[in-house]
A and B are shown apart, each in its own frame.
Chain A
Amino acid sequence: MSQAVGINFKKSSIDALIAGFLALILFGPIVGVLLDGYKFDFEFDRVAWIVAIVAVGRFAVSSFFQTEKGVAMAFRYANNNEGATVLAPNHKSKMVWIIPLVIAVGLLIPFVASKYVLTVVILGLIYVLLGLGLNIVVGLAGLLDLGFVGFYAIGAYGLALGYENLGLGFWSMLPIAAILAAVAGAILGFPVLRMHGDYLAIVTLGFGEIIRLVLTNWASFTHGPNGISAPLPTLFGLEFKRRSRDGETFHEFFNLPYDSAYKYMFIYIVLFAVVWAVLFIKHRLVKMPIGRAWEALREDEIACRSLGLNHVLVKLSAFMLGASTGGLAGVFFATYQGFINPSSFTFFESALILAIVVLGGMGSTLGVVIAAFFLTVLPEMLREFAEYRVLMFGILMVVMMIWKPRGIVRVTRTGFAPRKGAVK
């Protein structure tokens, strides 16, 4: 890249001419010929505009890629197959500035956004939780889990059934559901510890389906396909309903007119806090011995065993912590929907969560957050193309795997400043 960078306008002009000619062939018949009953009219000016726009655009792009910046960019995108990078020991993350900004914006959202936008953002945050949970299992520990939706279902049904049978509300079920899901993770984890890769994926896929089928068919307990209603969260005993059978409601206590958006605002704020807590714990875990052990297990299980790591416990801990995060997400999903049935927990959900992890970059926290929002908010924005959503989703995955097989955000590793060595 040391050679003098001059823009070769001849090359740009040729590129522009070829692009313009191709646009003429493509758009000429489509745009230029307009049917009018049994005859047709030629619309030359429309074609001319389109061809001109394409040619000028191509000229601009071609020129840009001959400048220094453009060459650097092309170089960067041509070499995207590299793995992780190690940061310098004194690296200062830009996150120090970005995180407070995101928190401030996030806290403003419920007061400025409409109810619809708020529900979409809540759904996005639920998928962030799911993505973070699966990221521990797939991204860090390298155990391909296709049944993650099972833990999500356990969390959601835990809230609904706990309320119905034991009278437990949102706040008591939040930790209990996490523990329940972790126990389910251990039950799943134990028999599959000796499996890797494809075999593990098939067994976990079966686990997810078992949970869904039990929920569908055990009608006397779960109400089967009819579904079951889930309670709303309460603020120190104040309910977010229009009228309360026992005690006061939120709007009565604060002398406000009733608005159904209040409950979403409250769910949003609680969820926002929980997501940040999980992000913080996740951030710490990666740097802790347990996080290192997960990653080492992903890299080489035999070497792990030769270093005294109990691979059984390392795998189980990954399954359990991942599952408990999925359980938390399930509780929020149930309380936000107010009603759940087994059709919310199909294999497609598992595939979507896995797509979030793969798209975001295995093991990258930031990538998972971005991908979770992208994959939940985008379908909402493309409501008109609802039938093509899965098709678009597939194309996106293929394109990503070709251009950025390591995910959106590249994994970075902490650098350590050299110091004086010592052994006791």
Chain B
Amino acid sequence: MSQEHVLKVENLVMHFGGIKALNDVNFDIQRGSVSALIGPNGAGKTTVFNCLTGFYKATGGKITLSAGGKETSVIKVLGEPFQPADFFSPVAFVRRLKYKMFGGSHLVNRAGLARTFQNIRLFKEMSVVENLLVAQHMRVNRSLIAGILNTKAYQKAEEEALERVFYWLGVVDLVDSANRLAGELSYGQQRRLEIARAMCTNPEIVCLDEPAAGLNPSETEALTKMIRVLRDEHNTTVLLIEHDMGMVMDISDYIVVLDHGEVIAKGGPDDIKNNPKVIAAYLGAEEDDEEVTL
């Protein structure tokens, strides 16, 4: 696979018991692009997100993340059931056992994919700065001895972490609230803090689940600007789920439309706007209404 696609989803299937939430979903995300995943309510957008980020283990298919110079199979790191062949190959057996015992969605994040949540999940009883420090867990000095003795190397690592914290607080315009509890912030501030927290894990692709939900128009505009900053200044690929069509059409380079667990259209904003299938999915089957524009 080329380096051009940061994320490749092939034949993704997700069943919950008898309910087929996703049926054969395929799409690729271009490196350095802003892509959107849209669709009516219940189309399976958040299910796709949860599969990509490792919170659901997909029933079938392949999700390949190529970040940090290597390819990661998202489904494999979550721990797959043993196959008969594993019992004859100790290496494969040990690898599978390792992922089964210590695997999980945290490995997806370490491979370079960060996410935010539809219902904000901040550490509410911790301060804003601490929220962003937790996100840098994998990048600071975690040695117990160094920390207890407060060595030079430890202090340096903590200072660098704090510098990154204040950089990202600057980007999301929260420097003045640095020493407040995350739970005390207003809704819009919490949304921005969650994006900053995701970015502090140093991802190559960041998945935003309805980042503009509950924001007023001026806040949405600020968010649009911020997403452009992520893409242009930090070379981060952005994948978002959003219902605000104005924002989606404004910001996206590429749009994937889902309906009933299937991809019904993908392409640039202009293609999607005029796609009859998309219009039908959003407004119902009768297509005699000519004035509909998205």
Q: A292-B137, A418-B178, A419-B162 are in contact. Are A299 and B126 (CB under 8 A)?
A: yes
Interface-lining segment among A104-112, A245-253, A280-288: A280-288
B224 touches A (CB below 8 Å): no
B150 touches A (CB below 8 Å): yes
Q: Which residues 393-424 in A have Cβ within 8 Å of B in the complex? A: 411, 413-416, 418-424
Please count how many residues in chain A sit with their CB below 8 Å of the partner chain's CB atoms: 43
In whole angstroms, how far apart are the Cα atoms of A304 and B53 in the complex?
13
A308 touches B109 (CB 8 A): yes
Return 17 A-B CB contacts under 8 Å, by A number: A83-B125, A288-B142, A289-B133, A289-B137, A289-B147, A292-B130, A292-B137, A299-B126, A302-B121, A303-B122, A304-B106, A306-B105, A310-B102, A310-B104, A416-B162, A420-B166, A421-B168
A30 touches B (CB below 8 Å): no
B114 touches A285 (CB 8 A): no
A421 touches B150 (CB 8 A): no
In whole angstroms, how far apart are the Cα atoms of A281 and B145 in the complex?
10
- Contact indicator per residue, chain B 164-205, by CB within 8 Å of chain A (1) or not (0): 111111100001001111010000000000000110010000
Known interface pairs A84-B126, A310-B104, A415-B127; 5 further A-B residue pairs with C-beta atoms within 8 A, sorted by A's residue number: A290-B142, A307-B134, A421-B164, A421-B168, A421-B169
Complex contacts, B45 vs chain A, CB 8 Å: none
A281 touches B148 (CB 8 A): yes
Complex contacts, A84 vs chain B, CB 8 Å: 125-126, 181
Complex contacts, A292 vs chain B, CB 8 Å: 126, 130, 133-134, 137
Q: Could you list which residues of chain A lie within 8 angstroms of chain B, going by C-beta atoms?
A: 83-84, 86, 88-89, 280-281, 284-285, 287-290, 292-293, 295-296, 299-300, 302-313, 411, 413-416, 418-424
B247 touches A (CB below 8 Å): no
In whole angstroms, how far apart are the Cα atoms of A244 and B170 in the complex?
70
Q: Smallest CB–CB gap between B148 and chain A, Å?
A: 5
In whole angstroms, how far apart are the Cα atoms of A293 and B130 in the complex?
10
Interface-centre pick from B110, B130, B140 (highest chain A CB count, 10 A): B130
B106 touches A308 (CB 8 A): yes
Complex contacts, B167 vs chain A, CB 8 Å: 421-423
B137 touches A309 (CB 8 A): yes
- Contact indicator per residue, chain B 32-50, by CB within 8 Å of chain A (1) or not (0): 0000000000000000000
B123 touches A (CB below 8 Å): yes
Q: Smallest CB–CB gap between B141 and chain A, Å?
A: 7
In whole angstroms, how far apart are the Cα atoms of A293 and B101 in the complex?
20
B135 touches A (CB below 8 Å): yes
Q: Smallest CB–CB gap between B232 and chain A, Å?
A: 15
Complex contacts, B127 vs chain A, CB 8 Å: 86, 413-416
Which among B102, B117, B140 is the interface contact of A303 at CB below 8 angstroms? B117
Q: Smallest CB–CB gap between A90 and chain B, Å?
A: 11
B292 touches A (CB below 8 Å): no
In whole angstroms, how far apart are the Cα atoms of A357 and B69 in the complex?
47
Q: Which residues 179-237 in B have Cβ within 8 Å of A in the complex? A: 179-181, 183, 197-198, 201
In whole angstroms, how far apart are the Cα atoms of A217 and B92 in the complex?
44
Q: A292-B137, A299-B125, A305-B106 are in contact. Are A413 and B181 (CB under 8 A)?
A: yes
In whole angstroms, how far apart are the Cα atoms of A411 and B130 in the complex?
15
A418 touches B144 (CB 8 A): no
- Shortest Cβ-Cβ A-B pairs, 4 listed: A421-B167, A421-B166, A308-B109, A288-B147
Complex contacts, A86 vs chain B, CB 8 Å: 127, 179-181
